[in-house]
């Protein structure tokens, strides 16, 4: 029993048959819904970011151009442009409708994170620390994109010191004025883009940040970490509001837009996966109450760790992307809406 709800009953919260989106040859690195929720964008280690219909799981197409593992993907709020960053040391901007590349930005090392700002006028991406190059965060203007973007100067460039460590996750703050970064050493930092300075940093996590996702109203965000926990933070003050503890590394966490629920996905590192069975429940999606921090449901599915997960914008379904190369879309059924947390 967890949170006054047995797991056998929890299984009834979910439709018996999830959609399984098959198409990637290697493990999924990130998945994102567009604003309306009719499209899912996925990036994977197979160098071909894809777009799918979330309703029936049909793949619309792929964005071809990268030649390395694609680590990050984001779509703007109008669903017209896509940004991806990869291990081939390139950031690509794409036309969503046609799948053509609008611009390519060469970098000095692997591109680990990328995001459009809320307005869609700017985008940000960060590069790894590699060889003699430090970890850097770039802000670029994407109002008009053409081939000249490859040589254009960024609006802003922030260089991370060794003490600040590599950026592993990133979010835009309110009104496009700030960026929040999660780091390999577990720290979170908020940057003022106009004053070009760090406003605040906290060290509540003890290991690398794996994912950060905003709440619907952008007042809070949830972070996941290899320290086996996810935490809820105030998006302005970076105050730690809640903590959701598990027994193994958490690779992704998201906040329901509908209820006070937080979903976590993870599992142990890929190299240890072969020694464990799926029966052990290590690769479940786990649902916690946002306020009470109690786990109340688990959903099985993947044959390896979950690397990325996201709620549908209407909160009635969620998607997970796994080390097994599949994206699974699970729709909640009526008992999920009727369930009362006691």
Convert the pLDDT of each residue in 7-66 to its tens digit: 444 544 555 589 999 999 999 999 999 999 999 999 999 999 999 999 999 999 999 999
Residue 270: what pLDDT? 57
Per-residue confidence at 281, pLDDT binned at 50, 70, 90? low
Cβ proximity of 317 and 310 under 8 Å? no
The predicted-structure confidence for 256-272, as pLDDT tens digits, reads as follows 999 999 999 998 765 66
Residue 6: what pLDDT? 38
Q: Which residues contact 213 (CB under 8 A, 6 or more apart)?
A: 171, 221, 222, 252, 253, 254, 255, 310
CATH 2.130.10.10 fits 19-338, yes or no: yes
Per-residue pLDDT, averaged over 120-124, amounts to: 96
Per-residue pLDDT, averaged over 217-229, amounts to: 97
Q: What percent of the chain has pLDDT over 90?
A: 85
Euclidean distance between CA atoms 233 and 236, whole angstroms: 9
260 phi and psi angles, rounded to 5 deg: -85, 65
Q: Is pLDDT above 70 for 3?
A: no
Weakest-pLDDT range from 13-22, 110-119, 206-215: 13-22
Kindly state the tokens that stand for 220.
């809070």
Per-residue confidence at 339, pLDDT binned at 50, 70, 90? confident
Euclidean distance between CA atoms 297 and 1, whole angstroms: 10
The predicted-structure confidence for 69-89, as pLDDT tens digits, reads as follows 999 999 999 999 999 999 999
Question: What is the domain partition of the chain in residue ranges?
Answer: 19-338
**Neighbouring-strand partners of residue 107:** none
Reduce the DSSP state of residue 32 to 3 states and report it: strand
Q: Is pLDDT above 60 for 273?
A: no
Cβ proximity of 212 and 171 under 8 Å? yes
Identify the helix (H) or strand (E) that includes residue 311: strand 306-311
Q: How far is CA 141 from CA 34, 115, 176, 229, in A?
A: 21, 12, 12, 35
Cβ proximity of 14 and 330 under 8 Å? yes
Q: How far is CA 3 from CA 189, 245, 294, in A?
A: 33, 13, 5
**In which residue are the tokens 């009834």 written?**
12
Kindly state the tokens that stand for 12.
């009834």
The predicted-structure confidence for 153-168, as pLDDT tens digits, reads as follows 999 999 999 899 999 9
Cβ proximity of 135 and 127 under 8 Å? yes
Residue 271: what pLDDT? 60
């Amino acid at each position: 029993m967890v949170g006054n709800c047995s797991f056998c009953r929890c299984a009834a919260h979910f439709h018996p048959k999830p959609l399984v989106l098959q198409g990637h040859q290697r493990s999924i690195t990130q998945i994102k819904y567009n604003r309306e929720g009719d499209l899912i964008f996925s990036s994977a280690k197979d160098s071909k970011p894809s777009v799918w219909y979330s309703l029936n799981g049909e793949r619309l197409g792929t964005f071809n151009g990268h030649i390395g593992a694609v680590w990050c993907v984001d779509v703007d709020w109008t669903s017209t442009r896509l940004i991806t960053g990869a291990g081939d040391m390139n950031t690509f901007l794409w036309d969503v409708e046609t799948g053509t590349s609008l611009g390519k930005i060469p970098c000095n090392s692997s591109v680990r994170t990328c995001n459009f700002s809320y307005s869609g006028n700017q985008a940000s991406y960060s590069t790894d620390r590699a060889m003699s190059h430090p970890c850097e965060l770039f802000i670029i203007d994407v109002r008009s994109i053409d081939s000249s973007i490859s040589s254009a100067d960024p609006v802003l460039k922030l260089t991370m010191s060794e003490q600040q460590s590599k950026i592993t996750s990133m979010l835009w703050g309110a009104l496009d004025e700030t960026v929040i970064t999660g780091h390999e050493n577990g720290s979170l930092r908020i940057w003022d883009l106009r004053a070009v300075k760090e406003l605040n940093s906290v060290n509540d996590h003890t290991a690398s940040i794996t994912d950060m996702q905003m709440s619907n109203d952008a007042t809070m965000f949830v972070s996941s970490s290899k320290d086996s926990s996810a935490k809820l933070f105030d998006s302005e003050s970076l105050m730690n509001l809640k903590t959701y503890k598990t027994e193994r590394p958490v690779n992704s966490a998201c906040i329901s837009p509908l209820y006070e629920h937080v979903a976590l996905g993870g599992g142990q590192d890929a190299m240890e996966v072969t020694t464990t069975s799926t029966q052990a429940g290590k690769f479940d999606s786990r649902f916690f109450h946002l306020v009470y921090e109690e786990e109340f449901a688990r959903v099985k599915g993947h044959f390896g760790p979950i690397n990325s997960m996201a709620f549908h914008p209407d909160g009635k379904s969620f998607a997970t992307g796994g080390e097994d190369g599949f994206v699974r879309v699970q729709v909640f059924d009526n008992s999920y809406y009727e369930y009362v947390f006691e």
